Amino acid sequence: MKTLSKLCLIFIFISASSTSKAQILISLIFGDALNTEKIEFGLTTGLNRSYMLDIEESSGLNNFNLGFYFHINMRETSYLSTGVLVKSNVGARGMSTYPIGDPDFDEVFADGEMSKKLSYFYVPILWHQRFNNRFFLEGGLQLGLRSKAYDYFHLEDENNGEIDYKTDVGDAYTRFDLGLLGGMGFKFRKQTKSLAMGLNYYYGLLNVSKLPDMTIKNSSIYLYVRIPIGTTPNEKKEKKKKNQGT
């Protein structure tokens, strides 16, 4: 029950925080409290290149992501891995622009390029299997809750330079996303809790578009680093003994 209470508390604080700096501060404050013999808690961050699978003319969009992770030991080298990406974008670029009903605007951006960017809170639920406590495979589901959605119009004009326009298109997308997530990685040290790096692929199963003539499914390749925060009670005792010995 104590562990469950700690997990609920951190998710409440995550939901209440509105900036990446606040989220990092929260993780540092609660890091020791959330680490136990059975649970590893830490930060996850990295880059992801996202695609919209059903829009053929689109190309990949590069994004930065940041969040928290939990590894919950189930048996020996098997873990349930979860957490939340509090800063996470998906989308695509390289698409043709569309008319918005303003003749002057439509004429200016007729030869422009458009990018779509959707912001999500993503929660992975993965089975995480380690080998020799160094390499690991993981796979499962990833659930998403969309917070924002924008279309970005871009035009490189010889006379006026670069022209950009952003429009909110949240009403054109559903709130939820769901898909398969899986990949592999390695730990830099053999100890149970250590810095790790890996590569995951997300394949969206749901059509997130509300428009009747458009189907959009998200996908993304994640290159990430996981950084454990805090120490377990046993690690604290060992450090205390060493300090007393000196």
Q: 19-68, pLDDT tens digit by residue? A: 444 455 555 555 566 677 888 989 999 999 999 988 888 999 999 999 98
- CATH for 2-245 is 2.40.160.20
Pair of tokens at residue 116 = 């779509």
Enter the pTM of the model. Answer: 0.81
What pLDDT is recorded for position 44? 94
Contact 91, 61 (CB under 8 A): yes
Ranges of the chain with pLDDT below 50: 1-22, 233, 236, 238, 240
User: What is the chain's length?
Assistant: 246
What pLDDT is recorded for position 30? 54
DSSP 3-state of 245:
helix
What pLDDT is recorded for position 178? 98
What pLDDT is recorded for position 244? 54
Alpha carbon distance 44, 37 (integer Å): 20
Alpha carbon distance 83, 78 (integer Å): 17
- Give how far Cα 215 sits from Cα of 21, 72, 78, 117, Å: 35, 36, 37, 15
What pLDDT is recorded for position 57? 87
What pLDDT is recorded for position 187? 95
Contact 119, 137 (CB under 8 A): no
What pLDDT is recorded for position 19? 46
Nearest to 84, CA basis, from 137, 36, 14: 14
